[in-house]
Amino acid sequence: MVQSNTNDSTCRRSGVNFVILGLMSLGGCVLMGLLGAVKYLYPEALSNFEFHQLRPIHVSLAVSWIFLAAIGGIYHYLPNYRNLTLTWPKSMHIHFWIFVVTGLAILGAYLMGNFGGREYWAYPPALSIPIFATWIMFGINICLTMKKEKEPWPVYYWMWMTGIIFFFITFSEAHLYLIPFFNENIIRETTIQWKSYGALVGSWNMLVYGTAMFVMERISGDKQMAHTNQAFLLYILAFIALMIGWSHHVYAVPSAPWVRMLGYIISMAELAILAKIIWEWRQSLTPNQKHAHLISYRFIFASDIWVFLNLILAILISIPAFNLFSHGTHITVAHAMGTTIGINTMILMGSVFLIVEELCGDRFAGWHRSWANQGFWISNISLVVFLGALMVAGSMEAFIEWEDFYERAEAIVPMLLTFSISGVGLIAGLWMIVVAAISMLMPAANEPEAIQAGAE
């Protein structure tokens, strides 16, 4: 089923390896999230760990999952589906192993209590150097490869290229705190940090949206959907949101009112257009097209439902009066996790299982398919309860007056217990999906020719 070049086995293996590593990161991420919740509720538990260690591990693994799954998909799709020979194929191996070694060094630093960065990048800043290096390699390789395309670029090429370039820019911006001009002024540093992180999310949204457009094109077989005015409108809106979308999330940092308003409108329009594109794509599919890529289709469709739900929440938390009270509460956590799991993870899982379904063919059956299907339902149902508990806890924090912090903390414990229990269900569902995917992709990484022969 996969269209292969003669010497594409190395490309296929490398792309799949990135996806497998991303799935491992996701598995570790949700496990660290559960341990963090236990530690938050019961500080005496897990005596060998502290919450301030578990949280950055959880966040770093979540970010790694998003980038690794997107990178692995891009490495796999260009040579195997777009018939483009990678300009610098050997760099993929270097990229992969530098990422592995750097990731282990970051985890080691966290476990030893060696911090030094900010928010997403809480590790010692020296460990950002290899990340810079690999991103330059990845960017050069992919952009020069896409340049070989003789036909007009589909929208996902533009999204991938923009995401790559702006990750490098925003990642650089996130390290400006190392310069005295910025770190000697708390307002200046806070503003730059919030702006860079908002734009960073915009850069990985570009990679994820591009991946979604590719997966939808592949399932439907409609190559024109990635060339429509609506597809490029999504790209333009996502690009503007990347630049200024951060401004409407936090009203505590200085920015012009018109920038906040524009950021708010663009961000809402971006989500609305994405939801519309997925909905129309779903309606255009025949029963045979859905069945041929059933698991991948379900994840993309689920992401559309979560786009609608997160759009409603995003509108609420962007209202200044609401944001003033809700920011920093569990409502913000619900929005962040709803976006990361409900939208980004569902889209990327759609990409993962597109690779599984096409690369493995009829071998994707039995318990592998059953676990992937059951994990899909368990994780999505658990996520509803999970986010609902966070929303209720956040509302209690934001809109009820308490005598002191301890009274408030005690009042929200039932919601946090519900959050933790549903988190176990979420972890179980995601782990079932991860195990099913890895068990199919491992042979594809080690023996791609044999799997390809079986699929065809």
pLDDT tens-digit series, residues 373-414: 999 999 999 999 988 888 887 777 666 666 666 666 677 778
pLDDT digits 0-9 by tens, 87-120: 888 888 899 999 999 999 999 998 888 888 777 7
Confidence of residue 1 (pLDDT cuts 50, 70, 90): very low
Sign of the C-alpha dihedral computed for residues 50, 103, 162 and 281 taken in this order: negative
Taking 70 as the threshold, does the pLDDT of residue 11 lie above it?
A: no
Taking 60 as the threshold, does the pLDDT of residue 456 lie above it?
A: no
Report residue 374 as tokens.
């059951």
* Residue whose pair of structure tokens reads 């949204």 in the numeric block: 205
Mean pLDDT of the chain: 85
Percent of the chain surpassing pLDDT 70:
87
Please state the separation of Cα 405 from the chain's center in Å.
33
> Cβ distance 231 to 155 under 8 Å?
yes
The reported pLDDT for the residue numbered 69 is 96
**The amino acid at 195:** K
pLDDT digits 0-9 by tens, 303-315: 999 998 888 877 7
Taking 80 as the threshold, does the pLDDT of residue 287 lie above it?
A: yes
Please count the other Cβ atoms lying within 10 Å of the Cβ belonging to residue 396: 17
Range from 73-77, 324-328, 374-378, 441-445 carrying the lowest mean pLDDT? 324-328
List the chain domain ranges: 286-451
What's the pTM? 0.90
Taking 70 as the threshold, does the pLDDT of residue 56 lie above it?
A: yes
User: What is the pLDDT averaged over residues 43-66?
Assistant: 85
CA-wise closest residue to 38 among 427, 337, 433: 427
Confidence of residue 450 (pLDDT cuts 50, 70, 90): very low
User: What is the pLDDT averaged over residues 151-174?
Assistant: 94
Taking 70 as the threshold, does the pLDDT of residue 323 lie above it?
A: no
| CATH class of domain segment(s) 286-451 | mainly alpha
Range from 139-143, 195-199, 217-221, 436-440 carrying the lowest mean pLDDT? 195-199
